[in-house]
Every structure is written in structure tokens, then in C-alpha cells.
Structure 1
Amino acid sequence: MANRFVLNETSYHGAGAIKDIASEAVGRGFKKAFLCSDPDLLEFGVTGKVIGVLEEAGLSYEIYSNIKVNPTIENVQMGVEAFKKAGADYIIAVGGGSSMDTAKGVGIVIANPDFEDIRSLEGVAPTTQKSVPIFAVPTTAGTAAEVTINYVITDVEKNRKMVCVDPKDIPVVAFVDPEMMASMPKGLTAATGMDALTHAIEGYITAGAWELSDMFHLKAIEIISRSLRGAVDNTAEGRTDMALGQYVAGMGFSNVGLGIVHSMAHPLGALYDTPHGIANAIILPTVMAYNAEATGEKYREIARAMGVEGVDAMSQEEYRQVAIDAVKQLSEDVGIPVDLKDIVKAEDIPFLAQSAYDDACRPGNPKETSVEDITVLYESLI
């Protein structure tokens, strides 16, 4: 069976990258942008930087900001109606995963109206048309939604997140500008950075991993490990490197999948509105220990990429443990909680475990798992 790899048509990287939005829009003949961005980014002027580029070039736009941190079916439905009324012909998504996931849902439904029931998009939906063209401008260094074929929408009625996988939703152009990320507070920088590390590590050990994806994931682990602490301290170098590292991780995991760290994190976001990066960061070391026996020599390379010295002289048990310890240390250094005690209620664990098992990311886990196994993992974290 052939391995498929899907990436953006074009991406711009580095300070000032958003200035190229105008030339890309004009060059593609676009007339009016549907600008998706969450209310906080609008309030604090982050989205205004993109608006400034559009206005300077005389490009028309309409803003849509009915977007929650964990975007809902309603957010997408209302976005679809707003897009139709706006008379727009392309979308600019400015923000983290919430803005981009909403934009992807809107773009897919506009192009595939037979999927207007948002629940029909869950999993690998058989859409036939490419999304409305999306320009993606990340403001967090973590989700890599600007280069992935995935998006996640919360079904509020069922207290669950729907993972949607569709190569037709990938943004046509990504503008990865670290200056758009400079206003991120420390806590958000840490959470999204650990999300990116989780993408890289899970993508590297997932069942679908192969040489091409391994190349991206190992490089991403290296970049993120050396730069996240600096990004949290808001150094220019740290911000720039994290913007690249999270994107490189996205290039990999989008094409090979993830595992049960994400499966376990998704229900926490749906039930408790837990920030996705925080959930991933807390769960990651525990699941790494659980998966270790199914990963061959890969933890040695994770440890090496994270800067651990002397791994070639270590036994398999030793290098697996130092890889896990390196992740724990980075997480601690950037201020992530060590467990789920303040998040998870014991009585909710059966629901969480079943939701995690049913999650679209679970089949990618390198080790076969069960609802019972996942239950024990949750219990060990509270």
C-alpha cells in the first residue's frame, strides 16, 4: 500500500510573513475574505495586524468571531450562514486551533452542502469538493492546524469532540509569522508548545509512522525541546524556533495520525473545557510509559533529539526512561501541572475512558489498548 503525504500548496515563514497575504489574495484573484478569528484576538489587536494588511491593499473582508476555545457545531453552522451572507470567496483563519478548525468546518460545508449536518463530517467523511480556499495565520505555536488535514469540533449535546480528517480541508497557504505569536501569555505558550511536542512524539511512534514522517517528527522534537523554554520567556529566538517546530510536527502527524494521548485529552476538553495543550502535556509521560514496550528503539532517538547525552551506551530500559524523564522535565520547567487531580472527577472516568476508546486517534496508538487500560491510565493521574 502506498503512503500518502499532503502538505500546503504554499507557506511563508518568518517575521513579517503576513505581509504576503495581500499578494497571495490578489494573485489568486480573490475578491472578499471571510475573516475567522476569536473574540480575544480581535479585542487585543492581534487580528488587527491582518486587517491592516488587507486594508492597506484595498482588499474587502468580513469578520466572523462567534468562535469558542473548543469550537462547537453551532459555531460552524452559524459560520456557514455568515459566509453565505458575506459574499466572500475565500477564508482567512487567524488564531489557534479554534479559529482554524471553525474555518475548516465552514469551508468544507460551503463546498459540500450535502454535509451541512456537521456530525456527518466526523471521521473520514466522503466529501467530494475541496474546501473554500483557506489562508491560515497561526497565533499560537502548537496546533499546526495551518498544515494539517484534521479539525476538531465539539458536540455539546453529547459532551464529546468529533475528530474530522479530510485532505480537502488543508489551508492552501500558511503564513507562519512569529510576530503574530509574540502576545501569547506564558501559560498559553507553554500549553501550546507541549501540544506540539505531543504531536511530534505521538506522530513518531504511531502505528502509521514511516521514514518520511519520522524525519519531520524527530526534527520537530529537537526544535521544540531546545526552544520552548525560550518561547515561554518570550525571547525572539524561542518564538521563531517554536513557530517552525510546531509546523514541522504538523507536517508529519497530519499524514500518519496520533495515539491515545490525544484520545484521552479530547474528552477532557469536551467535558471540562480543559485546554487541549494542558491535557496533552499532563497525559503524555504516563502514556509514553504505557506504550514503551511497543516502540522498539524509538525512545532512544526521542531522548537524543531532546538533548540527552550518552544514549548509545544505555540499555533499552534506561533510554526509554530518560526519554520519559526529559518530557517530564520540560513540562515542569514551563509550568504544566503534573496530574489531573484538579480537572477530572472520579465518577466521570467510565465516560471519559469510553469516549477516549471511541476517539478517531485511538487506532493509531502503537500498542493495542482497551477501555479498561484507558480507565487505569486516567485513574493513575488523579
Structure 2
Amino acid sequence: MVNRFILNETSYHGAGAIQSIASEVKGRGLKKAFVCSDPDLLRFGVTQKVTAVLEEAGLPYELYSDIKPNPTIENVQSGVAACKACGADYIIAIGGGSSMDTAKAVGIIVTNPEYADVRSLEGAVETKNKCLPIIAVPTTAGTAAEVTINYVITDAQKNRKFVCVDPHDIPVVAVVDPDMMSSMPKGLTASTGMDALTHAIEGYVTAGAWELSDMFHLKAIEIIARSLRGAVENTKEGREGMALGQYVAGMGFSNVGLGIVHSMAHPLGALYDTPHGIANAIILPTVMEYNAPATGEKYRDIAKAMGVEGTETMSVEEYRKAAVDAVRNLAADVGIPQNLREIVKKEDVQFLAESAYADACRPGNPRETSVEEIKELYLSLL
């Protein structure tokens, strides 16, 4: 069996890393940026930290902010039109998954116009051309979209999200600057951080996992477990740890896949506009319990990485419970809701289960599942 691994050409890490953008742009001979960033980041002056670097270096750019928390086909199509109209030859994506997913889809369609309908990008599509070069600057510590070959778009007409997997969409440069994340409110820090933990845990147990991806995922679990509480309290160490931990998780799962936590979270975002990190965080412990019989000894490693002591002498049942309890405790400590009662309507559960089963992440789940079993998982969370 051949395993493929794809990462950024270049990445910068640490406080002040955004200052490297100007030299990267000039060194690559790029001329004009299409800057994708959401309206809230503009309102709070976060986007301007990057555009100030461009202005100081005399680098022209066009700003695009028609981006929703769960970006839609229409957002992408209007972005493609704006990008073409301004004559940009590269993209700077500033924000969380929404900005970066929009940027990836725009960049792919500009260079592969046969996919202008956006829907045809669903799944593992073999586009012919690399997207416009993307420089990705995350402002949340969660999605790791700056290092993945995935992006997610919402089809508002059909109330569904679809996952696109394309090696041609990976940003050429990732700039992971914890200073860009310091303005995140507690709730967003908690939810995006739990999203990152979900990436690490699902990536570690997914059907496609192997030694190289395991290395990234276990380290990511360890970093996130020790950093998230501090990041929520806005400590320097916590912010820096989460900036790194979420990126390390992305290095892994982008190359091996995820599981039904993400499959179940995606329909919640499409139908109720539920923040992706919140959905993942609520669902994760329950799916971990469900998947446990199909994970061998991996929960012992997860429990140890989460900081649980004495895992070496625990029975299988004990270390599996310890891993799930450690995740539940972390979620509770950072203020994540414990169930879906305030989100899901019981009459929607059948539709949600069918959507989750059809989701591109579902085949990676370590345990074979069904629509009916996914439905029971949703119901257990109500």
C-alpha cells in the first residue's frame, strides 16, 4: 500500500510571523492580492494587521469580505467574479475555516473554470490545475485549513454541507501567528480548540491512519490538552500552544481522513448554522464511546496524551473510559454544552442521519456504521 502525504511548501510560526508575508510575496514574484476575510475581522481590526504589512511594502490588494460563517455556493461564485475582475494573481486568506474554505474554492475555480457551479467540486475531485497561490493566515486555533487539502461549502438550497478534497487547493504558505488569534473571545477559542482536538482524535483512529500520521495526531492531542484551558483564559502560553497544536493536527488528518464526528457535525451546520467546533465538541465523547470497540489499544495512547496517569496498568475498559472522560472534562472546563437539546429538533433526526451517512468523512470511521445507528447517536444526545 502507498500512503501519500501533502504539506505546505512553507510555513511560519510564532508571534510576529505575519511580517514574513511581504518577503514571501516579493520572493515569489506575485503582483496583486485578493484578500479574503470575514466582516467581523474587518470590524475588529484584525484583517488590517495583515493589510498594513502589504501597504508598508507597497503591495497592492483587493479586499473581499462577502463571507458567511458556513460559506455558501453563492459566496464562492461572487468571490470568483470579484477575484477575476480585480486581476489578482494570488490570494491571502485571513480568518478561520470560513475565510479559508472560501479562498480555496475561489482559487480552484479561477484556474479550473469548468467547476464554476461549485457543486461539482464535491468529494475527491482531480482538478487539472493548481489553484491561485494562497497565503493562509489563521485567526482561530481550530480548523487547520491553512495546511489541509480539504474545504467545506454549504449548499443552502439542499440544506447540506459538502466536503471537497483536492491536493491542488493547499495554501503554498501558512503563517501561523498567535498574535492574530489573541482577540478571539472565550467561546470561540473553546469551540475551535475542541474542533482541533476532534481532528487529532478522529485522525488518530481513522481507518486510513498509519505511523506518520499517528506521530502528528498524538503530539497534537498532547499540546491541545495542556494548552486549551489557558488559551480560553487568553494566556500567552495557551495561545501559542493552541496555534501550534491545531496546525500539527491538520498536518495529520488532511492526509488520512476523519470519521463520523465530522459527518454528524456537518449537517448541523447546514441545517441550523451551528458553529462547526461546537457541533464537533458535543458529539465527540459520544462517538468515542461508540467507536471504542474498533480502536484496539489507541485509547490508551489518547488517555496518556490527555494527561491521564497510570494508563499502563489500566484494563481495556478502564483506559477507554479514561480517554472519553478526559475529553468530556476538557469540554466542560471550557464551557462546551453537554448535549444537542438546544440545537436539534427531533423531527429532523432522520434527515440529519441520512446526511451524515452520505458525508465524505463517514467512510474513514474506524467502526462500520449505518443510518439507523447514526440516528441513535443523535437521539442519545437530545
TM over 0.5: yes
- Report the equivalent of 2:34: 34
Corresponding position: 1:133 with 2:133: yes
CA distance in 1, matches of 2:91, 2:261: 31
User: Is 1:114 equivalent to 2:114 in the alignment?
Assistant: yes
User: Displaced runs of 4+ in structure 1, greater than 2 A?
Assistant: none
| Alignment partner, residue 78 of structure 2 | 78
C-alpha distance in 2, partners of 1:52/1:236?
23
Counterpart of 1:215? 215
Is 1:346 aligned to residue 354 of structure 2? no
Name the counterpart of 1:324: 324
Distance in 2 of aligned mates of 1:339 and 1:206? 24
Residue 117 (structure 1) shift? 1.2
Match of 1:180 in 2: 180
The corresponding residue for 2:163 is: 163
In the superposition, the TM-score normalised over structure 1's length comes to: 1.00
Residue 55 (structure 1) aligns with: 55
Normalising by structure 2, report the TM-score: 1.00
Shift, 1:66, TM fit: 0.3
Query: Which residue of 1 is the match for residue 266 of structure 2?
Result: 266
**Distance of 1:152 and 1:114 partners within structure 2:** 19
Cross-structure match for 1:124: 124
Tell me how far apart the structure 2 counterparts of residues 278 and 182 of structure 1 sit (CA, whole Å).
20
Q: Distance in 2 between matches of 1:245 and 1:326?
A: 17
Find the counterpart in structure 2 of residue 304 from structure 1. 304
Pairwise CA distance, 1:89? 0.4
Instruction: Give the secondary structure class of the aligned counterpart of 1:261.
Output: helix
Q: CA deviation at 1:126?
A: 2.0
Shift of 1:227: 0.2
Partners of 2:115 and 2:372 lie apart in 1 by: 35
Q: Distance in 1 between matches of 2:127 and 2:89?
A: 19
AA matched with 1:136 = A
**Equivalent residue number for residue 240 of structure 2:** 240
Query: What's the secondary structure of 1:360's corresponding residue?
Result: coil
Aligned-CA RMSD value: 0.3
CA shift for structure 1 position 125: 1.1
Alpha-carbon deviation of 1:308?
A: 0.3
Amino acid at match of 1:360: A
Per the alignment, in what secondary structure is the counterpart of residue 157 of structure 1?
Answer: coil
Partner deviation per Cα, 1:332-373 (whole Å, 9 max, x = no partner): 000000000000000000000000000000000000000000
CA distance in 1, matches of 2:314, 2:125: 45
CA distance in 2, matches of 1:237, 1:303: 22
Q: Which amino acid aligns with 1:190?
A: A
Partner of 1:367: 367
Tell me the CA shift for residue 267 of structure 1: 0.1
Number of the residue aligned with 1:3: 3
Identity value in percent: 79
C-alpha distance in 1 between matches for 2:64 and 2:125: 25
SS at match of 1:146: coil
- Aligned equivalents of 2:115, 2:234: Cα separation in 1: 42
Distance (Å, rounded) in 1 between the aligned partners of 2:111 and 2:105 = 10
- Whole-Å Cα distance in 1 between the matches of residues 135 and 161 of structure 2? 24
1:105 aligns with 2:99: no
Distance 1:353 1:248 in 2: 30
CA distance in 1 between counterparts of 2:102 and 2:150 reads 11
For residues 225-273 of structure 1, what are the alpha-carbon distances to aligned partners after superposition, in whole Å with 9 as ceiling and x for unaligned? 0000000000001000100000000000000000000000000000000
Structure 1 residues without counterparts, runs of 5 or longer: none
